[in-house]
């Protein structure tokens, strides 16, 4: 009987660990998604050499970030999102479905997306994705530590050095 109880405890631990992995993945995706969408420049015609086309409204680049599982989204969206909230909301269902081990894509298929990433925009002189890649380890550390007892990377580091672990 004791073995049965121990086996059940192990099974419960495994189930919790798998669920935590999924939570960490979703948290990482959420944070990366938010950073990339928030950092995406929104066209501002006052900085342009030429007048914008009639009816121009900025926010198309920001609205064209597409989150998908398994394969990258293709095509472009006919949408404008100046503050990014609609884009992030549209990604919610995909993020909720993400699990550890999934291949997750965040793509922008607009023809000028590469130019923006290469510093073409005054609002994103070092790009959008590259800056987020630099922060990737911190994003992952914070997500893991946030799931592990609600601690942050800073709190974990402090405990690590305090107890000389």
pLDDT tens digits, 133-154: 999 999 998 888 877 755 555 5
Alpha-carbon distance of 21 to 14, in angstroms, equals 11
Q: 67 with 95: CB under 8 angstroms?
A: yes
Question: Residue range 55-80: average pLDDT?
Answer: 96
- Per-residue pLDDT band for 76 (boundaries 50, 70, 90) equals very high
What does the pLDDT look like over 96-138, one tens digit per residue? 999 999 999 999 999 999 999 999 998 999 999 999 999 999 9
Alpha-carbon distance of 163 to 134, in angstroms, equals 29
The H-assigned helical ranges of the chain are: 2-39, 60-63, 85-97, 113-117, 129-134, 136-147, 153-162
Q: 58 with 64: CB under 8 angstroms?
A: no
Q: What predicted TM-score, i.e. pTM, was given to this entire model?
A: 0.80
Instruction: Spell out the residues 6+ positions from residue 36 whose beta carbon is closer than 8 angstroms to its own.
Output: 65, 106, 128, 129, 132
Question: Residue range 37-60: average pLDDT?
Answer: 90
Q: What is the average pLDDT value for the chain, to the nearest integer?
A: 86
Q: 147 with 159: CB under 8 angstroms?
A: no
Closest CA to 124 of 29, 47, 27: 47
- Considering Cα of 72, then 76, then 80, then 86, what sign does the dihedral take? negative
Res 103: pLDDT: 97
Q: 68 with 94: CB under 8 angstroms?
A: yes
Whether residue 48 is predicted with pLDDT greater than 80 in this model: the reply is: yes
- Considering Cα of 78, then 81, then 87, then 90, what sign does the dihedral take? negative
């Amino acid at each position: 009987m004791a073995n049965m109880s121990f086996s059940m405890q192990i099974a419960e631990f495994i189930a919790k660990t798998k669920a935590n992995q999924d939570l960490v993945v979703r948290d990482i995706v959420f944070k990366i998604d938010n950073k990339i969408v928030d950092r995406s420049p929104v066209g501002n015609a006052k900085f342009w050499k030429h007048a914008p086309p009639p009816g121009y409204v900025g926010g198309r680049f920001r609205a064209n970030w597409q989150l998908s599982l398994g394969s990258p989204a293709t095509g472009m969206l006919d949408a404008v999102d100046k503050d990014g909230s609609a884009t992030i909301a549209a990604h919610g269902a995909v993020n909720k479905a993400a699990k550890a081990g999934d291949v997750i894509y965040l793509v922008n298929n607009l023809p000028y997306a590469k130019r923006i990433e290469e510093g073409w925009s005054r609002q994103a002189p070092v790009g959008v994705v590259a800056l987020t890649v630099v922060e990737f380890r911190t994003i992952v550390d914070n997500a893991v530590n946030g799931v592990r007892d609600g601690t942050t990377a800073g709190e974990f580091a402090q405990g690590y050095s305090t107890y000389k672990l």
